[in-house]
Amino acid sequence: MFPREKIRNIAIIAHVDHGKTTLVDKLLQQSGTFRENEAVQERAMDSGDLERERGITILAKNTAINYKDHLINIMDTPGHADFGGEVERIMKMVDGVLLVVDAFEGTMPQTKFVLRKALEQNLTPVVVVNKIDRPNARPLEVIDEVLDLFIELGANDDQLEFPVVYASALQGTSSLESDSQGENMLALYETIVSHIPHPTESVDEPLQFLVTLMDFNEYLGRIGIGRVNRGIIKQGQSVAVMTREGGMKQARIEKLFGFQGLKRVEIEQAGAGDIIAISGIKDINIGETIADPANPEALPVLKIDEPTLQMTFIVNNSPFAGREGKWVTSRKLRERLFNELETDVSLRVEETDSPDMFIVSGRGELHLGILIENMRREGFELQVSKPEVIIRHIDGQKMEPIERLLIDVPEDSMGSVMESLGTRKAEMVNMVNHGNGNVRLEFLIPARGLIGYRTNFLTLTRGYGIMNHAFDSYGPYAGAGVGGRHEGVLVSMENGVATTYGLMSIEDRGTLFVTPATEVYEGMIVGEHTRDNDIVVNICKEKQLNNIRSAGKDDTVKLKVPRIYSLEQALEYLNDDEYCEITPKSIRLRKKILNKNERERAEKQRKTADANA
């Protein structure tokens, strides 16, 4: 066991894309953790396929490095507020945080979100101003912004005396001065060792260990990761497992692992303050306490912020159901969703009256989108409804989630962006002109108003706008008509294959979503209408053949490039009466009621019911 005073447990927190994972890379490389000839990929901590593809951290990861005679345990956390459940749990495992802030962008919505969580746990902060080599870097202004944020969030006097390290994670350099850089990360290592406190828990008291993260291994089964709160834990030891529901069961620790670099290393024992992994407890869960059987005391249950967005997950019942997926039944869908609950504490799954439908609630569109993307890659076929915010009734008042929106836009786009947000009930709370042609605007906006807004925003700013948002609070319900899509859609009238001739005949009616030779079915959405009503179209019709031929006429036909949606874009695009059909190979938009006559009948009944209400 490492001496307690030589251990440092820290979490790296930041807004998305401010350089946390790259910073961990350089700390690992310069610590001598890897062999000289060892091949290490960039962003080594982002191990998941989706993380590497999107360049974001989704799941919290931990690593350990040796610096001089110290052991530094580092937790890399997600920057997206959608994965806030991961961040909140990590705060229970550490004694201090490295708050990474971009030297140009400064404090952003998620910076505020993650810092609030750290200050609530009374953790010791170190501020790292990253990307100091970036053009237009403004480190001193950024430090003022960070200080204002600390004061706004109610930091105590000790937390306000935070040390500042200026770094370039990309170059692998750091310094205590804003106008010069050292040759390595030495300044950051020294600041961690001198400012972050060591664990103070006692190894002489009865054992307490809180399971904070989960992993799974084919050979070892479920693996619980967490921090030893007090006492000593040994391989082969009999323990009491305190469940989240208040029950208790006996178990045995089969294997114990410490961390070294990116590897797990088997160890014999660990003491208070150590971050370790345990295996051998068959159905262990996040939030459970492993305790001494003679003195079984449970630690407080992890409190996680409630979900703000929900969607309905439905078994695929389209005409193309079962063609492309491996898992298509409600039993498999239910099993997969409830398995996800074991590792994702921010997720909620409710069963409905129908065995084929499940209401899934999460922290945002990205949170639910990542789950759906993982499921389709595993071979699942399903349908989902439009994302809806979760309305609450607090003290008899109807309340809805409010997001804090921060956007950077070119000055010439500012007017049209403000106008578009005004129709979505956004309230501007701040405006800063950095003098470089860009303006930063800050709004409070109902979460409903942001669903489907990103595409519109990019169009208004010609792709130059940057938009970030995070959950702020629950506020009074802003009324109906906030957000949503205003354009109608082109709906296929029959089953068949789209033809060039059929697509040409409706091209001037709107924007197409499909290419020639695409298989379509009745009720499938094949384009966006130029007006606000839906129309039924026939894109499968063939050109009538006759004996009059115009030489070369068909050879010059060129269709406009169709709009192909990614999963997140498709989810944003949905209306209340539509589903998104998701398979391992395809993403299709469709009407809930496929038949035109039945749709019209249902719409009449809805209008009659609204009129009588």
pLDDT at 545 (0 to 100)? 67
Return the minimum-mean-pLDDT range out of 77-91, 324-338, 577-591: 77-91
Strand intervals (E) in 84-236: 96-102, 124-130, 164-168, 173-175, 208-217, 221-230, 232-234
570-591 mean pLDDT: 92
Edge-first strand listing for the sheet containing 70-76: 61-67, 70-76, 7-14, 96-102, 124-130, 164-168, 173-175
599-604 mean pLDDT: 89
Is the pLDDT at 1 greater than 70? The verdict is no
Is the pLDDT at 340 greater than 50? The verdict is yes
pLDDT at 83 (0 to 100)? 57
Is 597 flagged in the annotation as binding? no
* Dist. CA 438–CA 407, nearest whole Å: 10
Classify burial at 103, counting beta carbons within 10 Å of its beta carbon; exposed 0-12, middle 13-18, buried 19 or more: buried
Q: How far is CA 534 from the centre of its chain?
A: 33
CATH of domain 392-476: 3.30.70.240
Helix 414-422 vs helix 453-460: crossing angle, to nearest 10: 150
- Whether the Cβ atoms of residue 564 and residue 512 lie closer than 8 Å to each other: no
pLDDT confidence bin for 82, thresholds 50/70/90: low
Is the pLDDT at 427 greater than 60? The verdict is yes
Phi/psi of residue 515, nearest 5 degrees: -105, 165
User: Could you identify the residue written with the tokens 């910073």?
Assistant: 23
Q: Which amino acid is at 613?
A: A
Return the minimum-mean-pLDDT range out of 281-295, 549-563, 578-592: 549-563
Is the pLDDT at 97 greater than 80? The verdict is yes
Count CB atoms within 10 A of the CB of residue 26.
21
pLDDT at 482 (0 to 100)? 79
pLDDT confidence bin for 193, thresholds 50/70/90: very high
217, two tokens = 């291994």
311-335 mean pLDDT: 92
CATH of domain 208-291: 2.40.30.10
Is the pLDDT at 160 greater than 60? The verdict is yes
Is 132 flagged in the annotation as binding? yes
Q: How far is CA 169 from the centre of its chain?
A: 23
CATH of domain 4-195: 3.40.50.300
420, two tokens = 């578009």
Is 22 flagged in the annotation as binding? yes
Q: How many residues does the chain have?
A: 613
Is 21 flagged in the annotation as binding? yes
Q: What percent of the chain has pLDDT over 90?
A: 26
How far is CA 84 from each of CA 253, 508, 564, rounded to the nearest angstrom?
A: 30, 45, 30
pLDDT at 20 (0 to 100)? 73
pLDDT at 34 (0 to 100)? 45
Classify burial at 545, counting beta carbons within 10 Å of its beta carbon; exposed 0-12, middle 13-18, buried 19 or more: exposed
Would strands 289-291 and 357-362 be described as parallel, antiparallel, or unpaired? Answer: unpaired
Is the pLDDT at 56 greater than 60? The verdict is no
Residue 604, SS3?
helix
pLDDT at 42 (0 to 100)? 42
Return the minimum-mean-pLDDT range out of 342-346, 364-368, 469-473, 602-606: 342-346
* Dist. CA 516–CA 90, nearest whole Å: 50
Q: What is the pLDDT of residues 291-320, one digit of tens each?
A: 998 888 888 877 666 788 899 999 999 999
Is 130 flagged in the annotation as binding? yes
How far is CA 186 from each of CA 20, 32, 181, 367, rounded to the nearest angstrom?
A: 17, 13, 11, 36
Q: Who contacts 352 (Cβ-Cβ below 8 Å, separation ≥6)?
A: 312, 358, 359
Return the minimum-mean-pLDDT range out of 79-93, 319-333, 557-571, 584-598: 79-93
Is 133 flagged in the annotation as binding? yes
User: Could you identify the residue written with the tokens 């354009």?
Assistant: 487
Q: What is the DSSP string of 66-86?
A: EETTEEEEEEE---SGGGHHH
pLDDT at 366 (0 to 100)? 79
Is 18 flagged in the annotation as binding? yes
pLDDT confidence bin for 59, thresholds 50/70/90: very low
327-343 mean pLDDT: 89
pLDDT at 36 (0 to 100)? 43
pTM value is: 0.76
Q: What is the pLDDT of residues 369-378, one digit of tens each?
A: 889 988 999 9
450, two tokens = 């942001």
Cα 539–Cα 540–Cα 543 angle in degrees, nearest 5:
100
> Of residues 549 and 101, which shows the higher confidence score?
101
What is the domain partition of the chain in residue ranges? 4-195, 208-291, 392-476
- Whether the Cβ atoms of residue 69 and residue 5 lie closer than 8 Å to each other: no
pLDDT at 304 (0 to 100)? 67
Helix 109-120 vs helix 139-152: crossing angle, to nearest 10: 50
pLDDT at 466 (0 to 100)? 81
Sequence-ordered alpha helix ranges (H) in 49-138: 49-54, 84-90, 109-120
pLDDT confidence bin for 337, thresholds 50/70/90: very high
Q: What percent of the chain has pLDDT over 70?
A: 90
Q: Who contacts 187 (Cβ-Cβ below 8 Å, separation ≥6)?
A: 165, 167, 174, 175, 176
Is 515 flagged in the annotation as binding? no
Mean pLDDT of the chain: 84
* Dist. CA 26–CA 189, nearest whole Å: 11
HSE, side-chain direction, 13 A CA sphere, residue 227: 25
Q: Who contacts 136 (Cβ-Cβ below 8 Å, separation ≥6)?
A: 104, 436
Q: What is the DSSP string of 287-337?
A: T-EEEBTTB--PPPPPP-PPP-EEEEEEE--STTTTSS-SB-SHHHHHHHH
Rounded to the nearest 5 percent, the helix, strand and coil shares of the chain are 25, 35, 40
How far is CA 509 from each of CA 489, 516, 531, 590, rounded to the nearest angstrom?
A: 10, 17, 9, 18
